[in-house]
Amino acid sequence: MSQARPLSLITGASAGIGAAFARALAARGHDVVLTARRTDRLETLAAELRQAHGTNVTVITNDLAEPHAVEQLCNALDERGLQVDWLINNAGYGVPGPFDQVDWAVHADFMRVLMTAPTELAWRLVRGMRARGYGRIVNVASLAGHVPGTAGHTLYAASKAYMIKFSQSLALENQAIGVHACALCPGFTKSEFHDVTGTRQMMNKLPDYMWQTSEQVVQEGIAAVERGDAVFVTGRFNRVVKGLFKLLPDRVAMRMSAKQSKRYRAQLAE
């Protein structure tokens, strides 16, 4: 490995799954680099990790929607002499609303954050991992990438399906030299995601068995990437859903998706 302690870079580290990854990896003896847009939250988490685990924490405020954000982030790592052993591509959000009724600039930012930035980060950092013969890349995808897309979140499932396929190829290219890549696919997770998209009230109506905590997702994700799983769906319920949709004819699966989309839009309008 590159340092006496492995170093993990976590995007979207200010809350939810990203913060849970930071806590879990720090508890495993990792030093961490935290990056997101909200400096105050990153600094609060950094102080917690230093106190709890004696972790070396680097905070780099960064907005991955900016075209040169990844280059600037990697330059900041180089200036500090930091070599990344674990890359957690977690930053993400949703854009609700019909595709043509959302400004293109909003869609462009979304695709940079959820597709372009994690791909570029992997491209820039995997070279060092390969040279050192060790690395872990976790691309936080979603169960949504395994089921038909829904109306109203037009690009979300598409972006997650991309991350799944990208992770599979990345895993195959690097599995023989000690670098593991994994698309981590959670379902409904207790985090701020649904507050940001304005769907919290609707999500609160779902039964408890459909949900996982961020900590549960992270625990399963770390185990999956260490095993060398290229794709892993967290939670038994989510794996059943994935298996069901895999067996259904496309036409039936699309009808089910359309029904769910209609229900989703109706509840958002309430």
d(CA 201, CA 185): 23
Find the catalytic residue in 156, 162, 209, 264: 156
- Is there a domain that residue 176 lies in? yes
pLDDT surpassing 90 at residue 2: no
Burial of residue 23 (CB within 10 Å: 0-12, 13-18, 19+) is buried
Supply φ then ψ for residue 31, to 5 degrees: -85, 155
Q: What is the pLDDT of residue 255?
A: 77
pLDDT in tens, 159-171: 999 999 999 999 9
Task: Please tell me the total count of domains within the chain.
Answer: 1
Counting runs of H as helices and runs of E as strands, what totals does the chain give? 11, 9
Q: Which of 59, 60, 57, 63 is nearest to 25 (CA)?
A: 57
Mean pLDDT of 80-102: 96
- Is there a domain that residue 2 lies in? no
d(CA 24, CA 21): 5
Local structure of 258: helix, strand or coil: helix
**By mean pLDDT, which of 6-10, 57-61, 256-260 is the weakest?**
256-260
- Is there a domain that residue 114 lies in? yes
Q: Which of 62, 102, 86 is nearest to 1 (CA)?
A: 86
pLDDT surpassing 60 at residue 42: yes
Q: What is the pTM of this model?
A: 0.89
Q: What is the mean pLDDT of the chain?
A: 90
Ramachandran area for residue 66 (φ above 0: left; ψ -120 to 50: alpha; else beta): beta
Q: Confidence band (pLDDT; 50, 70, 90) for 53?
A: very high
- Domain containing residue 231: 7-269
Q: What is the pLDDT of residue 248?
A: 78
Supply φ then ψ for residue 156, to 5 degrees: -65, -55
Mean pLDDT of 104-111: 98
Q: Confidence band (pLDDT; 50, 70, 90) for 197?
A: very low
- Is there a domain that residue 84 lies in? yes
> Cβ contacts of residue 183 below 8 Å, gap of 6+?
139, 141, 145, 163, 164, 166, 167, 168, 230, 231, 232
- Is there a domain that residue 82 lies in? yes
Rounded to 5°, the CA angle 2-4-10 comes to 65
**By mean pLDDT, which of 126-135, 174-183, 186-195 is the weakest?**
186-195
pLDDT surpassing 80 at residue 193: no
- Is there a domain that residue 243 lies in? yes
pLDDT surpassing 60 at residue 194: no
The percent of residues above 70 in pLDDT, for the chain, comes to 87
State yes or no: is 156 an active-site residue.
yes
- Is there a domain that residue 70 lies in? yes
- Is there a domain that residue 92 lies in? yes
- Tell me the CATH number at 133: 3.40.50.720
Q: Which of 236, 266, 258 is nearest to 148 (CA)?
A: 258
Q: Confidence band (pLDDT; 50, 70, 90) for 208?
A: confident
